[in-house]
């Protein structure tokens, strides 16, 4: 409330989301309050067990192997937004076990702006078999590396702007204080001013890229959507940090035509806490995760503009089947009686990873840059078997 008052009573949605997630004292991630996992606020694929990293490891090994074959020098496996550090820890173990030579040349670099999260990652990775360090993009840009960058459910945590179609014009959504005679001030979502050609040029470009200017006449009054204003700067920083290699983004993402459907009247923004979901982003600010879907066309434009070549994308279900998930499930049938409980837990995790109504609908989106692009990437982009 005090912050809003000091900012004149209202701020853009992106400013509010940034505070609610990343403020070091009050933000859900910044303070380290949010817990990722089945016993925490929300589950992600790596938090279901080591199966996800085990299936992903051959893809990373292929990409790192291509770089290793192309020349000497260190290789880097980078992860942005590592959460509890489970994916990084499980991947390091899988690489060390399955590809010891590659692992011997590889360092792990974690990019985590939120000190509360980084502290837990340090504990989780205390006995990591790879050398590991924490860096930000600015430090990496000073000494760019060759390797693979993973972004698993991190771009959906970048602050988004929200815009509203009022039947005639687009307006920027604001978060502001409600005045009046209430004993306690309340915060509310408000329709801001109509977008102006000069002051809001960046948002108007995003609207155009999303195809919204073409379909706006068919949208109902009050239709609201998210614009991923943080994505292009993030791709630019990622490109400046990696001279050669691959980027794999795994996240909720929609094609523009799905994102822009008139029926998606409230956008895609959701809040998560304690395994509960709510469409209200203003609930107890700083204690809920806030997340919005990505738009595939926005990602592709940002990637091309910043020097990443898109290599293709698959739904997670298809990607994991191409990487051998069905064979792993089949292998669980041969387990010894004393391993039955572990086999059943593994089976449940594998099935959740490909559930088409849940994690199986996530998108795996691959990009590359540099000489390594001359070599084909095959594993998760081939047909499932």
Ligand X SMILES: C[S@@+](CC[C@H](N)C(=O)[O-])C[C@H]1O[C@@H](n2cnc3c(N)ncnc32)[C@H](O)[C@@H]1O
Q: Is 40 in the site for ligand X (CB under 6 A)?
A: no
**Stretch touching ligand X by CB under 6 A, among 51-59, 77-85, 182-190, 377-385:** 77-85
Residues paired with 189 in a beta bridge: 175
- Orientation of helix 86-98 relative to helix 51-70, angle to 10°: 60
Q: Is 322 in the site for ligand X (CB under 6 A)?
A: no
**Stretch touching ligand X by CB under 6 A, among 82-90, 160-168, 202-210, 342-350:** 82-90
Q: Is 46 in the site for ligand X (CB under 6 A)?
A: yes
Q: What is the residue whose two structure tokens read 């880097």?
A: 76
Residue 82 Cβ, how far from ligand X at the closest point, in Å?
A: 6
Q: What is the residue whose two structure tokens read 């794999």?
A: 248
Residues paired with 277 in a beta bridge: 272
Q: Is 273 in the site for ligand X (CB under 6 A)?
A: no
What are the start-end ranges of the E strands in 265-321?
270-273, 276-278, 289-291, 294-295, 309-315
CB-count exposure of residue 52 (10 Å: 0-12, 13-18, 19+)? buried
Q: Is 154 in the site for ligand X (CB under 6 A)?
A: yes
C-alpha 304 chain-centroid distance: 19
- For ligand X, what does the binding mask look like between residues 113 and 152, x meaning CB under 6 A? xx--x----------------------------------x
Q: Is 157 in the site for ligand X (CB under 6 A)?
A: yes
Q: Is 286 in the site for ligand X (CB under 6 A)?
A: no
* Contact assessment for residue 195 and residue 171, using Cβ atoms and an 8 Å cutoff: yes
**Token output for 33:** 């309050």
Nearest to ligand X of 114, 260 (CB atom) = 114
Residue 381: C-alpha distances to residues 154, 242, 327 (Å): 22, 22, 17
Candidate residues 40, 54, 58, 83; the one interacting with ligand X per rule CB under 6 A = 83
Q: Is 47 in the site for ligand X (CB under 6 A)?
A: yes
- Site residues (vs ligand X, CB under 6 A): 29, 36, 44, 46-47, 80-83, 87, 111-114, 117, 152-154, 157-158
């Amino acid at each position: 409330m005090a912050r809003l008052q000091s900012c004149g009573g209202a701020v853009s949605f992106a400013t509010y989301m940034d505070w609610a997630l990343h403020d070091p004292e009050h933000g859900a991630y910044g303070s380290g309050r949010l817990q990722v996992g089945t016993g925490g606020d929300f589950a992600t694929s790596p938090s279901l067990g080591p199966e996800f990293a085990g299936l992903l490891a051959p893809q990373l090994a292929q990409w790192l192997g291509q770089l290793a074959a192309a020349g000497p020098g260190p290789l880097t496996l980078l992860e942005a937004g590592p959460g509890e550090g489970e994916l990084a820890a499980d991947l390091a173990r899988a690489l060390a076990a399955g590809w010891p030579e590659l692992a011997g040349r590889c360092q792990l670099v974690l990019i985590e702006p939120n000190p509360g999260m980084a502290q837990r990652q340090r504990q989780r990775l205390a006995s990591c078999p790879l050398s590991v360090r924490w860096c930000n993009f600015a430090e990496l840009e000073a000494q760019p590396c060759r390797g693979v960058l993973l972004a698993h459910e991190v771009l959906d945590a970048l602050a988004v702007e929200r815009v509203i179609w009022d039947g005639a014009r687009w307006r920027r959504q604001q978060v502001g204080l409600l005045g009046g005679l209430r004993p306690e001030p309340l915060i509310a979502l408000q329709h801001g001013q109509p977008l102006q050609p000069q002051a809001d040029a960046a948002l108007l470009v995003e609207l155009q890229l999303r195809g919204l200017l073409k379909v706006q006449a068919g949208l109902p009054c009050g239709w609201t959507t998210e614009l991923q204003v943080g994505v292009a700067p993030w791709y630019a920083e990622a490109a400046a940090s990696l001279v050669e290699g691959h980027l794999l983004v795994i996240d909720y993402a929609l094609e523009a035509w799905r994102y822009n459907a008139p029926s998606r009247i409230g956008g895609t923004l959701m809040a998560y806490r304690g395994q509960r979901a709510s469409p209200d982003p203003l609930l107890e600010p700083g204690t809920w995760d806030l997340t919005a879907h990505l738009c595939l066309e926005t990602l592709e434009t940002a990637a091309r503009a910043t020097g990443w070549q898109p290599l293709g994308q698959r739904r997670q279900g298809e990607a994991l089947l191409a990487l051998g998930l069905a064979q792993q499930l089949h292998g669980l049938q041969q387990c010894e009686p004393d391993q039955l409980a572990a086999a059943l837990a593994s089976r449940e995790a594998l099935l959740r990873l490909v559930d088409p109504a849940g994690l199986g609908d996530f998108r795996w989106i691959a990009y590359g840059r540099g000489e390594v692009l001359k070599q084909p990437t095959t594993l998760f982009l081939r047909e499932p078997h």
